[in-house]
Each structure stands twice: as structure tokens, then as C-alpha cells.
């Protein structure tokens, strides 16, 4: 028996765009367009009747636009995930970041043309996002489909009370139980004293679900953070500058889009540009950012794998690497270089990941020392760096 399809509501003032999106979404049997609306006002009226599990909406619409719809959603405490349709970077980056700040889950750029390759790329990306956020919503609200897939892994039944958790709820994943390094201290936690080096930088690789996850982590990071942080977030070119600016407004640390030659400084967060690989390079007097126009790695540009490789070469045991929510496996192998050299490697847990792809593969590759929930990621980084 096939699982009940994820229900989708499409909101756009263009009949052509509504029809195109409906046609694209209908190609996947795991999705079902339960309704369409020509603006946010009609969407607010249809949500109680249709009960969609994910909404895809335009931002520029008459009467009630996408931003006003997201404000209504916040006021009414509607937690259905929303994916926004954005104009390309030059026109749409700023308003797209405003939408994310108002609670939109993710965004996808509208096609500039109607060529088959462009529409195919749009369709693949949109379908992946709808399924990811739809399944995540079902898991969050406890809505189990008719033939829900079995969990990928489960904790074995225990006849004894579970051990007390670490204050940051850092846990040992069932996937890594048998090969975790032997360490002193609390169950499931590798103390920094068990590492060979002292951390000098933090590298983060993240994809689907990343914008909101990073907003949460960087809003909670300590203003006394003594290390530089470099981030690869899979995002189209032209959006990462506005994304960095939006993070800078809510974080106690400086956040900016990385430029070639930028210094790694304590308390500074650098976000990889959307169309360039980012590497760290140790020089005699300082460590700087090097931007590369090399081909995509692991299917991505920027690639978390490129960043992790450079961190492994330049910092090794003196680094902390974090792999978070995202489809695929970018960075899952390369974070192993940091692990093997004695650095600290963390993965976001399945329960708090929108897509448990990149973290899962890193865990299965035996490259992770700790698995941490999103709610406790900032606190754990603060602990590991003594702030």
C-alpha cells in the first residue's frame, strides 16, 4: 500500500505559474496538490478546509502578498512549513531573507526561462524540498501516513532507566555506538581533554533546512566566542550576501559573506558565497579565506567537502567541524580527515534535522564523535570553546 501523499497548497497570482507548479508537483506520486490560491488572502481561507502539510507561495501578489501572509501565519501560530518562490538574486534576495526571518522554511528561485533543462532543475529541487519539509512536518505533528516507512534506526528496548543526559543533550547515536572512541567522562560525550589539540576554528557544512537552523544557532552563540567560524550553506549565487546580513542582525557575532583574503578572526562568522568554494589557508602572519572557482564537488558549489578538506590540512586536531541538516552526502567523507587527525566532529541529530542525509552518511562513515540536537548545538559549541 502506498503511503498517503503529502498535501500541498500552491499560492501564486499567476495562473500560468499555478498551472506549471501543479503540473510539476503532480509528477511525483508522493505529493498531491490539494488546492491553489491566487494570493495570501485566499490561502488563509483555504488552509482550515484543506489542511495542507506544506505550502509553496509567491512573494509578490496583490491584496495579501507573501510577506503579509507569513506575518498572518506567525500571528495565527500556523506551523505548516512554507517554501517561498523568489525572484533571482538581484531582485529577490532581500525580500527572500525577510521571508525566512518571518518563518518561511526555505526558498526556490523562479525560472528565468521555460527551457526543458531549467524546468527540470526547478522541478527536481521543488519536489525534493516539498517532500523533505512535508515529511518533517508529519514527524513533528505526529501525523502518520497510511503506510509510513519504518524508522531507519531505533534505540533498543531497555529494562533499566536511561542514563542522565549531558546538560547539552549531546547523545551517542545508535549508529555510532560500537565505534565511538573510548573516553573518560559522561556517557556519550567525548571530553575535549580526549582530543590531541586545542580548537582554533569551527567549520560548518549544512544544506536543506539550514537557513532556519543557522538562525537559531547563531542567535544563541556566545558573544565571547573565541574562535572564527566558516560556514558552507548550499544556497544560490547572489543570496548568500543577504543571508549573511540577515544573520548579522540577530547574532552577537559579526557575520558576513566571505571574500577572498578575509581574515579568520575570533568571533567572526564567514558565509561561503553561493557560487564559489571556500577554503582556509594558513599563512605566516594570519589565516585567510581563499575562494575557488573549481568545478562542483559532491554536486555542490560551494561544497562543505572542500571546506572540510582545507580545515583538515591546515588545522587538523585544532579544529571543530559540524555537519548539519541536508540532503545527500556533501562533506560526510571529508569531515573524516578532521576526525582522523584528532579534531572534534559533531553531527546534528535526526529528530531535529529537516533531512537527515549529510549527518547520517557522516555517522555511517564513522567520522562523528558526538551527535547533538539543534536546540543544543550553540550551547555545545560554547562549551567546547570555553565560553
Which active-site residues does the annotation give? 207, 234, 330
Distance CA 60, CA 57 (A): 9
Q: What separation, in Å, do the N-terminal and C-terminal C-alpha atoms of the chain show?
A: 52
The SS3 call for residue 345 is: strand
316-326: burial string, b at 16+ Cβ within 10 Å, e else: bbbbbbbbbbb
Contact in structure between 148 and 133 (CB atoms under 8 Å):
no
Can you list the alpha helix ranges (DSSP code H) found in 102-209? Answer: 116-141
DSSP calls for 223-289: TT--S-EEEEE---TTTHHHHHHHHHHH-SSEEEE--TT-B--TTEEEEPPTTSEEEEEE-SS-EEE
The H or E element containing residue 27 is: none
Q: Are 90 and 238 in contact (CB under 8 A)?
A: yes
Tell me the three cell numbers of residue 171: 547523545
Q: Are 169 and 375 in contact (CB under 8 A)?
A: yes
Give the count of beta carbons closer than 10 Å to the beta carbon of residue 15: 10
Q: Which three cell numbers stand for residue 15?
A: 495562473
Strands 277-282 and 287-292 come out as antiparallel
Distance CA(323)–CA(49), nearest Å, equals 39
Helix (H, G, I), strand (E, B) or coil at 20: helix
The CA distance from 137 to 87, in Å, is: 26
Q: Cell numbers at residue 337, please?
A: 580527515
Residues linked to residue 296 through DSSP beta bridges, in sequence order: none
Amino acid at each position: 500500500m502506498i503511503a498517503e501523499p503529502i498535501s500541498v497548497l500552491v499560492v501564486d497570482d499567476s495562473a500560468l505559474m499555478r498551472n506549471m507548479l501543479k503540473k510539476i508537483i503532480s509528477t511525483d506520486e508522493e505529493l498531491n496538490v490539494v488546492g491553489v490560491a491566487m494570493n495570501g488572502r485566499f490561502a488563509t481561507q483555504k488552509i482550515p478546509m484543506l489542511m495542507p502539510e506544506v505550502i509553496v507561495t509567491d512573494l509578490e501578489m496583490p491584496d495579501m502578498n507573501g510577506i503579509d501572509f507569513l506575518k498572518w501565519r506567525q500571528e495565527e501560530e500556523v506551523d505548516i512549513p512554507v517554501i517561498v518562490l523568489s525572484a533571482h538574486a538581484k531582485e529577490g534576495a532581500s525580500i527572500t531573507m525577510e521571508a525566512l526571518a518571518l518563518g518561511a522554511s526555505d526558498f526556490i528561485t523562479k525560472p528565468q526561462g521555460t527551457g526543458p533543462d531549467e524546468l527540470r532543475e526547478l522541478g527536481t529541487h521543488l519536489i525534493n524540498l516539498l517532500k523533505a519539509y512535508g515529511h518533517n512536518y508529519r514527524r513533528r505533528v505526529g501525523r502518520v501516513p497510511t503506510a509510513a516507512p519504518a524508522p531507519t534506526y531505533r534505540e533498543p528496548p531497555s529494562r533499566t532507566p536511561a542514563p542522565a543526559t549531558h546538560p547539552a543533550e549531546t547523545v551517542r547515536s545508535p549508529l555510532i555506538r560500537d565505534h565511538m572512541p573510548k573516553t573518560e567522562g559522561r556517557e556519550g560525550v567525548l571530553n575535549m581533554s580526549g582530543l590531541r589539540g586545542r580548537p582554533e576554528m569551527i567549520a560548518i557544512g549544512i544544506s536543506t533546512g539550514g537557513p532556519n537552523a543557522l538562525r537559531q544557532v547563531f542567535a544563541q552563540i556566545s558573544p565571547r566566542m573565541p574562535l572564527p567560524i566558516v560556514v558552507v550553506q548550499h544556497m544560490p549565487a547572489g543570496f548568500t550576501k543577504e543571508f549573511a546580513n540577515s544573520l548579522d542582525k540577530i547574532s552577537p557575532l559579526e557575520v558576513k559573506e566571505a571574500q577572498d583574503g578575509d581574515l579568520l578572526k575570533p568571533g567572526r562568522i564567514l558565509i561561503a558565497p553561493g557560487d564559489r568554494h571556500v577554503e582556509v589557508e594558513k599563512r605566516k602572519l594570519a589565516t585567510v579565506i581563499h575562494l575557488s572557482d573549481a568545478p562542483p564537488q559532491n554536486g555542490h558549489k560551494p561544497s562543505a567537502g572542500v571546506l572540510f578538506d582545507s580545515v583538515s590540512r591546515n588545522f587538523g586536531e585544532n579544529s571543530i567541524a559540524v555537519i548539519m541538516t541536508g540532503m545527500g552526502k556533501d562533506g560526510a567523507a571529508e569531515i573524516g580527515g578532521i576526525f582522523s587527525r584528532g579534531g572534534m566532529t559533531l553531527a546534528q541529530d535526526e529528530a531535529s534535522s529537516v533531512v537527515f542525509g549529510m549527518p547520517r552518511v557522516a555517522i555511517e562513515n564513522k567520522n562523528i564523535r558526538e551527535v547533538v540536537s539543534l536546540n543544543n548545538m550553540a550551547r555545545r559549541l560554547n562549551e567546547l570553546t570555553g565560553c
